[in-house]
Structure 1
């Protein structure tokens, strides 16, 4: 076992150094920046369109007379200022006006950004700090106009923390984003294992290595070398992305916090990406063992790529079904397990399950590697039980 690991380390160091210090690796790092730039531009355009289309909804918990007056004032002002300038008002007739009742209503209604209570002379605006500060001036304008008197209205503001349902919605968004990042990086980077193996098969380098080092060590070394290259690429892209984000600024506190916290979530993202990469990479090694030409590689890898998308859809559809059979299946099935478990990390704070999942994924990776080695020996090295039987039949036929 020690000799296998030592030989695998030699192969990993050889492949890693050859890739990292090559000219092609520099262009590999630059490659994703072009679609990323287009994505950022499209995202900015999409957010601008969203701001133009969407409008805030403010719940009105005033007396029926004052609520109707405020609603009529909003309609009158919107004719001059525009319907998107002022927030939409929804009259809430079931509220008592108590702070606890208002917060409970704000928590239960997903469409409400804030709630206006009290009276027109002394209004109280309750909501998150961002929404309250954003719409405070417009609500003041509405209240002063509705009073029909030259009276300056002072709005009392009440900020609420992220409530239970909003916290769950934020964690759900974090889970979806984590899964999307994992599948995108895995599909972009895992295919390089296959191209590297086929290239060395074509140049007969793999056969020279197999004569000196056990095949298990070669496959393990190549797999971890490509994983190291992928992690270096991710580190470079992440550093550049964070630098751009810090340069332009942003409200980092508004990011939904995962259940395990950001430090552990980032660590689990790295671990689950590594396991997803190793699982898919080991499967590609098996494909490379069977393929002899680039055309065969494309033919054999296409079902795996489509299957990976189906696996992602399975994990994605189970995000909102924690504890249900379909979610358990996604968490236990090795190829969907990394994506399902990162969603659990965003929504559940217990850590023991992640240790078990990582061990299970690692064991299944070793099984696939052993199977890939067996295929390589039979299809390329012409060794193993099948090859011995074929040789025996040939000798018998010759006699």
Structure 2
């Protein structure tokens, strides 16, 4: 009895030590933090992006005295209502307050304008889309009343235009966000199949038999592109069914905002950037499969990669309203967030050369990850040398003879 207890203690101590000091256990402990971080980031990100999309900028085309008075009135109202309660005002120098074609200035300003306030403080006129006029007409009346320091109500005249640069920008931002969401959902759903396929072949020793006849780089590339082809077939079926169902349900396709590059090129870029996002994540999963010894380890190690992919998606989603700023350039240059950031650019910018550069950059990084994964696989799985391969080949030959 004493010897049994002692042996049980030795086994318990050995297993406990092996688990506690393993990298899988450390990652497992940190695992619950990832969903919490992502949930907090997602809530804040969604609010910030919506604020950026709907942030109003109203041009002021008044004479010098009236412009100074209404800008001062805005500062007073900001103190009471906050920045979100009062639209941002930009003074338009050199613009005639009584110009009948003042709507042309909406898209000529350095920043896209929501509307233009012209005329005078006593008889102001707000020029913009019907939606923007309805939203900000009351606030502009309040600003005029504050600037005039009187309690009598000011009637703001409305001059609606069919479309403005601000409205076009909002519509394209919606397309950009939609493209990013579709890319991340498809990538997360389909990329995991690469990992399960590799783990299955490792368990059955099939991968070692293949490695005896084919270079490992070719095996990994073949697996990636085979799974990518299968994913594209699945997407094609889903898209066809969705297209048919939507057409039958709504008696025609909805009138969607047109991206900057146009719908045909945008759809092609969606396929290309999905392919690159899939290959980048799939090559990472191959590296994980090379490092892991068991299915449980694979599941544990893949979780941080999945959470990390969501984090780079959040980076790209956050930068969708910040074209040309450092955070947006970071999202473009980081390979794992680059497909999501570039599809947002396709919705908002019409130059195509940048997409060719981005696709080449993403493809180069995919090859680097695959090469590194092959090195890990050879070190961790093929470390037993030729004996393992020979045993596998011998077992295969015996099976065929039987």
CA–CA distance in structure 1, aligned partners of residues 227 and 100 of structure 2: 57
Given that residues 260 and 345 in structure 1 are in contact (C-alpha distance below 8 angstroms), is that contact kept between their aligned partners in structure 2?
Answer: yes
CA–CA distance in structure 1, aligned partners of residues 218 and 317 of structure 2: 35
2:179 maps to 1:178: yes
Deviations 1:330-371 (A, max 9, x none): 100000000000000001111110000000000000000000
Normalised TM-score (structure 2): 0.58
Given that residues 284 and 369 in structure 2 are in contact (C-alpha distance below 8 angstroms), is that contact kept between their aligned partners in structure 1?
Answer: yes
The corresponding residue for 2:290 is 289
Given that residues 276 and 338 in structure 1 are in contact (C-alpha distance below 8 angstroms), is that contact kept between their aligned partners in structure 2?
Answer: yes
Q: 1:160: Cα distance to partner? A: 4.7
Deviations 1:167-206 (A, max 9, x none): 1100000000000000010000001100000001001111
CA–CA distance in structure 2, aligned partners of residues 109 and 165 of structure 1: 5
The corresponding residue for 1:20 is none
> What pairs up with 1:123-162 in 2 under 5 angstroms?
160-162=161-163
CA–CA distance in structure 2, aligned partners of residues 250 and 316 of structure 1: 32
Gaps of 5+ in 2: 1-96, 107-111, 116-127, 133-158, 386-402
CA–CA distance in structure 1, aligned partners of residues 179 and 189 of structure 2: 16
> What pairs up with 1:36-55 in 2 under 5 angstroms?
none
Given that residues 246 and 253 in structure 2 are in contact (C-alpha distance below 8 angstroms), is that contact kept between their aligned partners in structure 1?
Answer: no
Q: 1:164: Cα distance to partner? A: 1.1
The corresponding residue for 2:255 is 254
Q: Secondary structure at the match of 2:163?
A: coil
The corresponding residue for 1:187 is 188
Given that residues 129 and 167 in structure 2 are in contact (C-alpha distance below 8 angstroms), is that contact kept between their aligned partners in structure 1?
Answer: no
Deviations 1:201-232 (A, max 9, x none): 00111111111111111100000000001000
Judged with a 3 Å threshold, the aligned counterparts in structure 2 of structure 1 residues 159 and 251 are, in CA distance, closer, same or farther, namely: farther
Judged with a 3 Å threshold, the aligned counterparts in structure 2 of structure 1 residues 365 and 97 are, in CA distance, closer, same or farther, namely: same
The corresponding residue for 1:339 is 340
CA RMSD of aligned residues (A): 3.2
Q: Secondary structure at the match of 1:257?
A: coil
More deviation in 160-169 or 308-317?
Answer: 160-169
Normalised TM-score (structure 1): 0.58
2:272 maps to 1:267: no
The corresponding residue for 2:310 is 309
Deviations 1:9-31 (A, max 9, x none): xxxxxxxxxxxxxxxxxxxxxxx
CA–CA distance in structure 1, aligned partners of residues 196 and 312 of structure 2: 23
The corresponding residue for 1:114 is none
Judged with a 3 Å threshold, the aligned counterparts in structure 2 of structure 1 residues 251 and 173 are, in CA distance, closer, same or farther, namely: farther
Given that residues 377 and 383 in structure 1 are in contact (C-alpha distance below 8 angstroms), is that contact kept between their aligned partners in structure 2?
Answer: no
Q: 1:253: Cα distance to partner? A: 6.1
Q: Secondary structure at the match of 1:334?
A: coil
